[in-house]
Amino acid sequence: MIVSAEWLYSRREEVVILDARHDLMDEEKGRRSYEAEHIPGAIFIDMANEMSDRSLNYGGRYPMPSIKRIAQVFGSKGINETTDVVIYDGNSGGMAAARAWWMLSYIGNQRAAILDGGLKDWKNKGYPTDTKIPEQTTVHFQPSVNHSFIAKAEDVYERLGDAILIDARSADRFVGVSELLDAKAGHIPGALNYFWKDVLTETGKWKDEAQLQHHFKDLSKEKELIVYCGSGISACPNVIALLKAGYTNVKLYPGSWSDWITHEKYPVTKGD
């Protein structure tokens, strides 16, 4: 699930490497950064145009594509359900990389991992980067959908008061005192705030299993956990961290807050 720069360097010829860098405030920055330098052999995957379907009129700021479209996108990168994949991005915790990992896991590839520390750690270890754009070979991805890995808006609404909702956004956005990205401020009633960056150490590496178990110690392992954020991206590190901590009934709400607030009858709240 999480691999080191040393691990990837020793096996770089055996895996497909995906560069998932993305900036929520500048959607072209990831591609520009990739073209400027990337891990040799890495293939770029675009959050806004490949990992999302902006043709949809629902689903938040980064609507989840159809199963068919997700499979086609990863297939165009040379990835199918049995391909070994390592994904990285520019955030040390791999926010965008975690979204790509979740999407692969959701449609049936259980062989994807995230590069711990991302490109920053790769470079800090003295490993090379280049600007060469590798040729891509398209393969067929046969999806095997993990329906227990996802919650839609209506699922969240129906489970209010039953499931544990986890909001991965920063505390100021959770309580509703700051909101620069979405039309309404606040959170889903009953949600608990677990900021996604808190699953990382001070150096930006992933916390180990014991640390994550302590971090989530107040959450029941017997109940369904539904994780959301603003647009279904920064929630994904929390999904991975919960799985690493031993939780098994964990779902992502991909539409997240930016989708929730488009449903007039769905309640919102502010404060702690």
Per-residue pLDDT averaged across 10-39, rounded? 96
Which one of 92, 124, 145 terminates a domain?
145
**For a pLDDT cut of 90, what percent of the chain falls above it?**
92
Dihedral over alpha carbons 22, 24, 28, 32 (to 10 degrees): -40
Q: Say if residue 43 is in the same domain as residue 98.
A: yes
Average pLDDT value for the chain: 96
pLDDT digit string, tens, across residues 54-64: 999 899 999 99
pTM of the model: 0.96
Token pair of 182 as six digits: 């979405």
Q: How many CA atoms lie within 13 A of 91 on its CB side?
A: 21
Nearest to 148 by CA among 65, 233, 224, 207: 224
Same domain for 88 and 182?
Answer: no
The three state secondary structure string of the chain is CEECHHHHHHHCCCCEEEECCCCCCCCCHHHHHHHHCECCCCEECCCCCCCCCCCCCCCCCCCCCCHHHHHHHHHHCCCCCCCCEEEECCCCCCHHHHHHHHHHHHCCCCCEEEECCHHHHHHHCCCCCECCCCCCCCCCCCCCCCHHHECCHHHHHHCCCCCEEEECCCHHHHHCCCCCCCCCCCECCCCEECCHHHHECCCCCECCHHHHHHHCCCCCCCCCEEEECCCCCCHHHHHHHHHHCCCCCEEECCCHHHHHCCCCCCCCECCC
pLDDT average, residue stretch 177-182:
86
**Is residue 58 exposed (0-12), middle (13-18) or buried (19+ Cβ within 10 Å)?**
exposed
> Both 10 and 29 in a single domain?
yes
On whether both 66 and 181 belong to a single domain, the answer is no
Same structural domain, 116 and 225? no
* 122-176 residue pLDDT tens: 999 999 999 999 999 999 999 999 999 999 999 999 999 999 999 999 999 999 9
Sequence-distant (≥ 6) Cβ neighbours of residue 10 within 8 angstroms: none
Q: Residue 181 has what pLDDT?
A: 85
pLDDT for 91: 67
Catalytic residue (one of 229, 236, 242, 261)? 229
The reply to whether 46 and 132 lie within a common domain is yes
- 270 found inside a domain: no
Instruction: Count CA atoms closer than 13 A to 156's CA, side-chain side.
Output: 32
Range of the domain at 166: 150-260
Per the annotation, the verdict on 236 as an active-site residue is no
Q: What is the pLDDT of residues 233-254, one digit of tens each?
A: 999 999 999 999 999 999 999 9
Report the candidate in 222, 205, 221 with the shortest Cα–Cα distance to residue 213.
221
Number of domains comprising the chain: 2
Q: pLDDT tier at 180 (50, 70, 90 boundaries)? A: confident
How far apart are alpha carbons 185 and 253 in whole angstroms?
18
In a domain, 86, yes or no: yes
pLDDT tier for residue 92 given thresholds of 50, 70 and 90: low
User: What are residue 44's DSSP bridge partners?
Assistant: 19
Q: How far apart (Å, rounded) are the C-alpha atoms in residues 272 and 251?
A: 23
Query: Which tens digits make up the pLDDT trace of 191-241?
Result: 999 999 999 998 889 999 999 999 999 999 999 999 999 999 999 999 999
**Domain endpoint, select from 110, 129, 145:** 145
Domain boundary among 145, 177, 193: 145
- Are 54 and 154 in a shared domain? no
267 within domain boundaries? no
164 shares its domain with 77: no
